[in-house]
């Protein structure tokens, strides 16, 4: 048996350094890209490290003990993150999600949350400040996160069956500890809690109904995510994808559901509710039902690269501007110019050729 060689795109080399704008321009709060999509969501990765080795995200054969994670000096400081967040809000961002890696591994993360929680939207409303976690240390962090100003959490959980869950996280972590984290987050008021399940055919798709039964009536929102070709290390094949339409059919056959409207334009998940009024589920269908035309999300990596798509090949080095002495007006203008040139629509044009292209790993920019 030969070793599988997986090409990883090292964005620490490939990033584009934006030029300082010759003239600055005040943010309008409604910057649009080339397809007319407005900037609304910002996802900020606070660490590239994770204590799980999920096969679809950070497989052990790539992210082993010899893998070189970013040195601490390369990470954006909390002050740099808060500064950039404020500038993104000037362009219309109303929702910020902290991601990783596993964001709760970032030391003193509560300090960053406190800083971000003081920010308001251009309309003066509180920022929608959320966090995605694998739940492994959420039980002991939930209270402090809520006290710092975090509004909600999303927890990744791919199975209720303990053996399946341990195989998928590949570090033998028990499902009971994630469920304890969910309970702790609920008690701390970090609700409504969203539960994300990545569905892979032949691996955990038989857990769809058990997961739906478990969370039905709990007040939590279970969301099923199609297995995506993110990065270059997860061995993606179309045959492994369980289409969201199939997920809905399976659930509807036992627990009837009906479609409901999105919370806002560009919301990632398609929303469904149980007809008996016992809760809501969602499906994220970026493989079979591309939602590129409504995508309003930007991503800021751990070391300050701006990405315009989850399937991007390269990002824009905002850290170079921040640490190079650029003014707020110059950085804000650069952000506006970058977004206004955005034309990404990977899921609409997905093909054998695009799937084969090297892409940034999900663990580097968050899901």
**10 has pLDDT over 60:** no
Task: Give the model's pLDDT for residue 363.
Answer: 63
Task: Give the model's pLDDT for residue 12.
Answer: 45
% of the chain exceeding 90 in pLDDT = 72
CA gap 276, 257 in Å, rounded? 8
Task: Give the model's pLDDT for residue 4.
Answer: 39
**155 has pLDDT over 60:** yes
Task: Report the mean per-residue pLDDT for the chain.
Answer: 89
Domains of the chain: 11-365 (3.20.20.70)
Q: Which of 36, 15, 26, 20 is nearest to 303 (CA)?
A: 15
Contact 242, 288 (CB under 8 A): no
**7 has pLDDT over 80:** no
Residues 6 or more apart in contact with residue 339 via CB below 8 angstroms:
31, 32, 33, 39, 91, 298, 308
How many CA atoms are closer than 13 Å to the CA of 103, on its beta-carbon side? 32
CA gap 136, 346 in Å, rounded? 32
SS3 of residue 128 by DSSP? strand
Q: At residue 74, what are phi and psi to the nearest 5 degrees?
A: -80, -20
Task: Give the model's pLDDT for residue 361.
Answer: 66
**253 has pLDDT over 80:** yes
The model's confidence at residue 344, banded by pLDDT at 50, 70 and 90, is: confident
Q: Which is more confident, 193 or 232?
A: 193
Q: Which of 291, 260, 290, 296 is nearest to 275 (CA)?
A: 260
Q: CB count, 10 Å around CB of 31?
A: 22
% of the chain exceeding 70 in pLDDT = 87
Lookup: tokens for 18: 């934006």
Task: Give the model's pLDDT for residue 229.
Answer: 62
| DSSP state for residue 171 in the 8-state scheme | S
**148 has pLDDT over 50:** yes
């Amino acid at each position: 048996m030969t070793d599988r060689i997986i090409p990883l795109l090292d964005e620490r080399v490939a990033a584009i350094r934006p030029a300082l704008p010759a003239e600055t321009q005040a943010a309008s709060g409604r910057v649009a890209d080339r397809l007319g999509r407005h900037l609304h969501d910002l996802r900020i990765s606070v660490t590239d490290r994770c204590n799980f080795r999920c096969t679809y995200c950070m497989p052990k054969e790539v992210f082993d003990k010899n893998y070189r994670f970013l040195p601490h000096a390369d990470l954006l400081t909390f002050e740099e993150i808060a500064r950039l967040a404020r500038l993104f809000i000037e362009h219309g961002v109303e929702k910020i999600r902290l991601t990783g890696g596993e964001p709760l591994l970032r030391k003193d993360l509560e300090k960053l949350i406190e800083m971000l929680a003081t920010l308001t939207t251009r309309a003066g409303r509180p920022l929608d400040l959320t966090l995605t976690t694998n739940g492994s240390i959420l039980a002991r962090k939930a209270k402090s996160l809520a006290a710092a100003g975090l509004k909600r959490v999303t927890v990744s959980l791919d199975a209720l069956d303990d053996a399946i869950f341990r195989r998928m996280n590949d570090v033998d972590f028990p499902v009971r500890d994630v469920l304890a984290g969910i309970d702790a987050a609920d008690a701390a008021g970090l609700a409504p809690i969203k539960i994300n399940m990545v569905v892979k055919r032949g691996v955990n798709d038989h857990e769809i109904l058990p997961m739906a039964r478990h969370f039905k009536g709990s007040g939590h929102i279970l969301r099923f995510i199609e297995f995506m070709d993110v990065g270059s290390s997860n061995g993606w094949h179309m045959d492994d994808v369980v289409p969201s339409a199939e997920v809905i059919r399976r659930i509807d056959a036992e627990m009837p559901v009906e479609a409901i409207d999105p919370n806002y334009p560009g919301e990632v998940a398609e929303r469904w509710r149980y007809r008996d009024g016992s809760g809501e589920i969602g499906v994220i269908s970026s493989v079979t039902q591309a939602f590129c035309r409504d995508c309003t999300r930007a991503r800021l990596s751990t070391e300050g690269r701006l990405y315009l798509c989850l399937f991007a090949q390269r990002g824009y080095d905002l850290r170079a501007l921040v640490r190079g002495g650029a003014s707020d007006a110059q950085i804000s203008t650069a952000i506006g110019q970058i977004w206004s040139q955005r034309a990404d629509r990977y899921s609409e044009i997905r093909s054998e050729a695009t799937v084969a292209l090297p892409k940034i790993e999900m663990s580097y920019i968050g899901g």
